[in-house]
């Protein structure tokens, strides 16, 4: 039996993506109402941008590392037929089924998240 595919939590990246626009909106409002100086506003805009980029790239690295470890520990050494039989059971977690089917569809190659298999 395959262990459930449970990728890392995206909570920090989601927080950055959700809160950053609110900070930008408040900053823009304060800038327009002349409560803060333009250089302070632009510094906050830049900080929000850097924060979102950092959190998203950190999450992507975590996800790719998790996927690589999952493939090497549970998928690489099994045949495609055995993997298909394992994920064909009704009690298999849907995310596990989707990940294993994607691995087999990618010609049993590890692909980073969002990377497409090259055909031909």
The SS3 assignment for 115 reads: coil
Q: How confident is the model at residue 115 (pLDDT cuts 50, 70, 90)?
A: low
Q: What is the pTM for the complete model shown?
A: 0.79
Nearest to 99 by CA among 66, 61, 60: 66
Q: What is the pLDDT of residues 88-104, one digit of tens each?
A: 888 888 999 988 988 88
Query: Could you state, in order of their start, the residue ranges of all structural domains in the chain?
Result: 11-105
H helix intervals, 33-89: 38-70, 80-87
User: Is 20 within 8 Å of 52 (Cβ atoms)?
Assistant: yes
Cβ density class 45-81: b for 16+ within 10 Å, e for less? beebeebbeebbeebeebbbeebeebbeebbeeeeee
User: Is 101 within 8 Å of 87 (Cβ atoms)?
Assistant: yes
Give me the mean pLDDT over the 51-77 stretch: 92
């Amino acid at each position: 039996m395959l262990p459930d595919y449970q990728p890392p939590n995206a909570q920090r990246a989601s927080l950055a993506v959700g809160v950053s626009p609110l900070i930008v909106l408040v900053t823009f409002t304060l800038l327009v109402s002349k409560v803060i100086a333009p250089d302070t506003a632009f510094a906050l805009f830049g900080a929000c941008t850097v924060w979102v980029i950092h959190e998203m790239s950190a999450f992507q690295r975590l996800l790719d590392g998790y996927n690589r470890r999952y493939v090497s520990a549970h998928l690489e050494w099994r045949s495609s037929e055995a993997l298909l039989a394992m994920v064909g059971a009704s009690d298999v977690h849907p995310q596990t089924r989707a990940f294993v089917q994607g691995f087999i569809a990618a010609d049993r190659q590890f692909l980073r998240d969002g990377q497409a298999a090259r055909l031909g």
